[in-house]
Amino acid sequence: MLTARTLQIIPLLDRCGISPRVALLCLVDTAGLLCPVVLFYLLRAAFGKLDPPPLYSGVLLLLGLPLGIGLGIYQSIPLSPPHEMKAFFLLSTTLYGGISFLLFLTQSGLEYSRFIFLGGWASSIVIPPLLRAFCRHRFAARRWWGRPLIIFGGGEAARALWRHLRKNPQTGMRPAAIFELPNDAPRLRKLLAAAALRWPDAAILIPHAAQNNAPADYMTETGRYFSDILLVPAFCGGGVHWLTTCDFGMITALWRRENLLDTRRLRMKRCLDLIFCVAVMAVVLPLTPLLAFAIRLDSKGPVFYRQKRVGRNGKPLYVCKFRTMTMNADALLADCLARDPALRKEWDINQKLKNDPRITRVGSFLRKTSLDELPQIFNVLAGNMSLVGPRPIMESQIDKYGDIHTVYNRVKPGITGLWQVSGRNDTTFEERVAYDNYYINNWSVWMDLWILAKTVPVALSGYGAY
């Protein structure tokens, strides 16, 4: 919670030219790098292992921020969560690799616990991005969080960008104004000068439609007044998450990697699935008899529920879950929808019911904690599902995906996915389709790692689950 004293710091940071958002991220990143080392040290001490204090954590404190700046973690245009995950992997690996080299040179490596060292390294990859996600959720609505963004360009494309940024303040870009882009240089210079005087620290965003009608030298003119200029390409709805620029002599091109066609990256995804499955099995096997007993005690019927879904390339997929509904679930649903028009409307929009009469008491707990999904680990081991991917859908829902279904068919369904960590059941069916489409078009190993890291706190909180 922000106190009055804390709020007094924000204008001071602004006067010093320091972004309050960046200052807060520096603090949480430092905590995210140091706290794991301290926690693992205390954990060892709790079991009677009195190791030497990890003095090398001073290196994390001294070099963490400078190296993070060098890796672009604090750049003026915020990183997306998958890019943050990649950046912190590089940051943590570089820091701990440097510490290993120093310990080798000083011949003091054997004094320190490998458990603390490796635990600190692995945790510092995951914890800072999660802390950043918490900050985005907690402070995104604050005016000081976002950087002003001026949209140059009229029409529906510009208004759609305005609405999207207003709806998603966690991006760190706050739309401040929207202007038509003049088609002659003198008027453009006059408008840019006025905008720079009003919003000196703003970034500029120019939709694709406006770029076609702009003066020939509009980029040069804009660059005289603003340091950051964002151009929205015509294909912004496609896979642009890993879009980069490349130079061929005097020619600049945009390079889009189609990760789903790269067999090396797909093998990495499969290896990631198997590694995490082995770790999750340590939880699944002991819990299975306990959950089975609770399910049988609560209601009549089998422990597991097997349902047909659509798999990769349209092949039938049978997923296995812990049963969370009554045995007459289909008949009960049909009866409720026939009697209650409001429930019918909710079902047609979301393909789910917030107060579903079919769910048992134990089933409600399993769904809120996502424990009902655990048996799908065996689908992942069999190779017909992935840990992360679009949600497996029923054949009756294919028409609701429209043309996107051809994209959906290209990948394995997942136990968790982008929409599950972006609101879960509080999203509409159309929004879930959009999340699946975005994930498929922008997939990367880093996005999978980010979703897996965020799945744990989302599942434990029960947010959006019913």
The 3-class secondary structure across 391-415, one letter per residue, is: CCECHHHHHHHHHHHHHHCCCCCEE
391 within some domain: yes
**Domain-terminating residue out of 119, 139, 159:** 139
Tell me the pLDDT tens digit for each residue of 237-281: 555 666 777 777 777 777 777 777 778 888 999 999 999 888 888
Q: Which domain holds residue 172?
A: 147-232
Buried (b) or exposed (e) across 383-413, using 16+ Cβ within 10 A? ebbbbbbbbbbeeebeebbeebbebbbebbb
Say whether both 395 and 441 belong to one domain. yes
340 within some domain: no
Residue 146, exposed/middle/buried by CB under 10 A (0-12, 13-18, 19+)? buried
Say whether both 120 and 71 belong to one domain. yes
Say whether both 114 and 159 belong to one domain. no
With beta carbons less than 8 A apart as the criterion, state whether 391 and 373 touch. no
Q: Which positions of the chain have pLDDT values less than 50?
A: 1-4, 7, 466
Pairing of strands 244-248, 229-231: unpaired
Say whether both 127 and 224 belong to one domain. no
**Residue 414 to residues 146, 265, 363, 448: CA-CA distances in angstroms?**
33, 17, 21, 10
**Domain-terminating residue out of 232, 249, 278:** 232
Q: Where are the beta strands (DSSP E) in 359-463?
A: 386-388, 414-416
**Of 65, 78, 59, 81, which is closest to residue 28 (Cα–Cα)?**
65
pLDDT on residue 1: 45
pLDDT on residue 10: 56
**Domain-terminating residue out of 107, 139, 171:** 139
Domain count, the chain: 3
pLDDT on residue 4: 44
Say whether both 202 and 283 belong to one domain. no
Give CA–CA dist 4/16, Å, rounded. Answer: 19
Torsions phi, psi for 252 (to 5 deg): -105, 130
Say whether both 107 and 43 belong to one domain. yes
Q: What is the CATH number of the domain that holds 180?
A: 3.40.50
Torsions phi, psi for 8 (to 5 deg): -70, -20
